[in-house]
Structure 1
Amino acid sequence: MKKEYETPEVRREKLRQKELRNPSSSVHGSNLSDLVGGLGWKGTGVFILLIIAGSIIYSLFF
């Protein structure tokens, strides 16, 4: 597949695989970026809403 026809997801996955082969070249932690990259924008929004709702519920009971 040519570079100009690759989707952003394919490019992101190739970069992630490249970082996994050489972890010392990674400047940032890959845990959160993998999570957000895999979820998409809708999943990320739901994840953020769950965190906010959980903190509100926690503050009401404790």
Structure 2
Amino acid sequence: MSEDKETPEMRREKLRQEEIKQNPAGNLSDAFNRNESGNLTDLVGGLSWKVTGIVLLVLIGFLAALLFFR
């Protein structure tokens, strides 16, 4: 696929792979830090906008039900 037709997701993955090749110890540190704090952008980046919206609606509905039935 040419550079012009490359999607942003493909570009991010390509840059991530290049960084892993150049600095494997830094990648290990990043993985430990991500594990401690969580990474919402990776979660949402892997989902489509429709699925993200559904997940948000389910979470909001769950929270509303907790408050209503309390």
User: Which interval holds the TM-score relative to the shorter structure?
Assistant: 0.5 to 0.7
- Runs of 5+ in structure 1 lacking a partner? none
Which has the larger share of helix? Answer: 1
- Runs of 5+ in structure 2 lacking a partner? 31-36
In the alignment of these two chains, the number of paired residues is 58
Instruction: Give 2:3's aligned residue.
Output: 3
Alpha-carbon spacing, 1:5–1:34, altered in 2? closer, same or farther (3 Å): same
1:51 is displaced (CA, Å) by 1.2
Alpha-carbon spacing, 1:55–1:15, altered in 2? closer, same or farther (3 Å): farther
> Structure 2 length as normaliser, TM-score?
0.61
Divergent runs of 4+, >4 A: none
Distance in 2 between residues matched to 1:39 and 1:53, nearest whole Å: 20
Aligned-pair identity in percent equals: 48
Partner amino acid, structure 2, of 1:11: R
Q: Tell me how large the CA RMSD over aligned residues is.
A: 2.5
1:9 is displaced (CA, Å) by 2.0
Higher relative contact order (CA 8 A, sep 6+): 1
Deviations 1:2-60 (A, max 9, x none): 322211221132344437x54578xxx66100110101101110111011101101101
Q: Superposition pairs for residues 25-40 of structure 1, below 5 Å?
A: 31-40=39-48
